[in-house]
Amino acid sequence: MSVVLYAESSDGKFKKVALEVASYAKAVADALGTQVTAVTINASDASELGKYGVNKVLQVQNDALQAFNAKAYADVIQQAARQEGAQVVVFSSSTDSLYVAPLVAVALEAGMASNVVAAPVSTAPFQVKRSAFSQKAFNYTTINTAVKVLSISKNSFGIHENATSVTAEAFAPQLNEGDFATKVAAVEKASGQVSIADADIVVSGGRGLKGPENWHILEDLATTLGAATACSKPVSDIGWRPHSEHVGQTGKPVASNLYIALGISGAIQHIAGINASKVKVVINTDPEAPFFKVADYGIVGDALEIVPRLTQKLKEFKAQNSEAIPTKVYTILTPFVFSQRALFFLKKHRIFLLFCKL
């Protein structure tokens, strides 16, 4: 008996979500008194997973699996789960895993809980805490089947090192033609950019930036922070930015440590898709913009004037400090100067004060 996880990788390297899933699986295994087995597909260094509590790695090397195929990947994982006698199978909430996890649950006749945000509340009965209604509420779900399948919300449990002796062995699942009924014609990947899915910081722009010719302001800030760039739905719809950068409920979900919205008013669908971010900052000329109601920090002003000053201060901070820019907002915003007045922003019975000295 064991806890089995699917460790996602790209170009042979494990994704950030794989490390969080490994950390979560270790917590579940400790609660159950068992071990952790990871399934990898065309990944290289399995020893990295040992840092996060994985005891055993089943390595699948198969050229037919170079491109993601939900049905084939699900068949691989369910075969591994059966071999290991899995009590719990753990996935991330990435796009790929959201395709695969339900297929594995059906194959194993397992109950499934998605959007899990914490270690199990109890193991007998097996109960987990989940987010609901676009992060607006939580519920507690009890799974009564012998095998449980869990999908963990991004950046909810965190990455925790727990060094363990890990062994790796080759695993050759039996795949058939039916697993490859869907063929991948081509895969297009953005290069030289921070992935929105793996980014600790995301800088996103809306129509308040007034045109694609001003996007370099956002990109300069993102480069300085080591952040991913994103945009609102209207921006991608009118062609200012590619649809691959569209975030929100109808685009890519964001669960970063820091989300900075520039010129985005905050439509309900956008807020729903980024609400899992730990800290949200908004810069907007409209003090009544809906985004201010959910933001942790807000600045009323023109992003085209504020952001270049912010970026310059960040560059000065980096030049004077050897460590990377921290993602906690107060350490980023406090040294920066925007106007000759102090801006008060009331949020959850706290007042955030930004002192300015232009």
Question: Cα(291)–Cα(265) distance, rounded to whole angstroms?
Answer: 6
Q: Kindly tell me the burial class for residue 128, based on how many C-beta atoms sit within 10 Å of its own C-beta (0-12, 13-18, 19 or more).
A: buried
**Nearest CA among 6, 251, 255 for reference residue 151:** 6
> What are the C-alpha distances in Å from 155 to residues 21, 95, 309?
10, 15, 30
Q: Give the count of alpha carbons within 13 A of 37, CB side only.
A: 24
Given pLDDT bands bounded at 50, 70 and 90, which one contains residue 177?
confident
Task: Specify whether the CB–CB gap between 154 and 92 falls below 8 A.
Answer: yes
Distance (Å, rounded) from C-alpha 72 to C-alpha 321?
Answer: 48
- What is the pLDDT at residue 350? 34
For residue 330, the SS3 value is helix
pLDDT of residue 230: 96
Question: Please, which pLDDT band fits residue 316 given cuts at 50, 70 and 90?
Answer: confident
Give yes or no for residue 344 having a pLDDT over 70: no
**CA 32 to chain centroid:** 27
- CA gap 204, 22 in Å, rounded: 29
The length of the chain is 358
Helices (H), the chain: 16-32, 70-84, 95-108, 215-225, 233-237, 268-274, 303-320, 329-333
Which residues pair with residue 88 across a beta bridge?
3, 148
Judged against a pLDDT cut of 90, whether residue 167 lies above it is answered with: yes
Query: In this predicted model, what pLDDT tens digit does every residue of 231-252 receive, in sequence order?
Result: 999 999 999 999 989 999 889 9
pLDDT surpassing 60 at residue 356: no
In the 8-state DSSP scheme, what is residue 87? E
Whether residue 123 is predicted with pLDDT greater than 50 in this model: the reply is: yes
CA 121 to chain centre: 23
CA gap 154, 256 in Å, rounded: 8
Supply 16's token pair. 């950030």
SS3 335: coil
Q: What is the DSSP pairing of strand 167-170 with strand 201-205?
A: unpaired
Rounded to whole angstroms, how far apart are CA atoms 190 and 117? 29
Top-confidence residue, 99 or 135: 99
Q: What is the mean pLDDT of residues 172-200?
A: 82
Residues linked to residue 138 through DSSP beta bridges, in sequence order: 131
pTM higher than 0.85 for the full model?
no
Q: What is the model's pLDDT at position 183?
A: 83
Looking at residue 178, its pLDDT comes to 87
Cα separation, 56 vs 36, whole angstroms: 6
